[in-house]
Structure 1
């Protein structure tokens, strides 16, 4: 897409192109580049260039002066597979508009299902008059933690990440959402992490790094832009960090507390086995993502004396 396309210069009998025409042309460029959602991305880039939160192409305005050149620059960045979220500096996650930055894992739509499980559990406790304690480990940009704090009144939420950049970004997203989240730098593999909450947590939720070392992501947006710290889980099977999350959950969760953890679809059996081997959990199961793939481990912390708590 050339920077001057549709500027309506001398000899251009077509006249200036409108925003809708430019978006359609950009969508074709992005499709040829292998972008998974070319028209959606082209539309969002146009909205960003116009300073709008969203753009209805049916009611698209006339292209203001300089728009075509500015838009072409943005489309070119996306054509070479820079993540859309890095270009616009924002992404949607559940009911939030979140700030995203290079160097911090970009929240994914599939993780909204993981957040929903945590929200549901916390909301159930809140409806019974409790103030649920929720911990989000490996929080990244803070999507899960901020969602729980925003959607469940009275929830006390902690968010932890090993990346200082992720910690800073989570704090910023919590502030922008007006959400009360205690954000902390820490490594989930530290046996003393959040020791003050041992046995007191109602929901421990996590989207940890879990990619095995030999499963390098195909998409350039992930492979070339998401930090390795947020992608690769360690060990031959990628489950070293997820196993540390499970161990932390066994220590932090109160009797009857719920563990919710995202993993790859090929890791469901191993994730369940890791939880079962601790001897600390019951009702260990895999749940599907929006496409029906087993992408989430859920397990209930065994109550005092090895008896399951009465929570659903």
Structure 2
């Protein structure tokens, strides 16, 4: 067990955390990034990235995150392969975090960039058949369904993007949505509806995932029509749940204020939480935009505000009391 001290401790290593690290390192704060369970964040499970500024051609998500990490390390960031299991924010700066390795991390400032994770439906068979026909990441597992029949459950950007991606592997992709219209951006909807390999099942919800986890995995989905109430079976080889994400804020329950969705609350227009010296950036506090570029932007803001916090704290400590003469 070891103790690691820094002027800026960053929990999370997606675009937000690494951008904070780059700016923090350039400000001589010698940041430490604790990478967590998914180093690089959600972009490491995203193949084609076509909307990140600076790249005319499509780039690969894992490559982009490797470059961000290399840049952060190049300017002086220390990357730690660990997962934080507890934090102590009650006593103010320095803030203390403990990793599952047993190591302790202390930061004069703390930047929370833990991101978000995929949401699940919570219906029978979902967990039992996870990895055996049921997945929440088409870009991770789509390859295993080459030439097979697959379904995507959802109606937002995530679901449409997953369905479009799966056409690289399957000629038979069905999007299943509980309503009669999609929430996805118009340009994505147009691509979906024009694609010859994609069909849409409207007004259907998944009641259960059926199959044998020990023999063959998923066989079909049990669907309920939201209008008529009729039940039906949809036979497929793979099903991808794509209903959005939940912020990874479990560590901070009863320690920091959150909204009803579990997103950390910050001062409007800033990454500042209610605790001075603690900042939140990226998808952990952004339930509106949730883009890599906005995450990176708030990571930059967190580092700049952390630098100002330290400068202000140092100035206040150095003030000499007025003479009483």
Is this a same-fold pair by TM over 0.5?
no
Query: Going by fraction, where is helix more abundant, 1 or 2?
Result: 1
Q: Which has the higher contact order (CA 8 A, sep 6+)?
A: 2
Q: TM-score, normalised by structure 1?
A: 0.29
Query: Going by fraction, where is strand more abundant, 1 or 2?
Result: 2
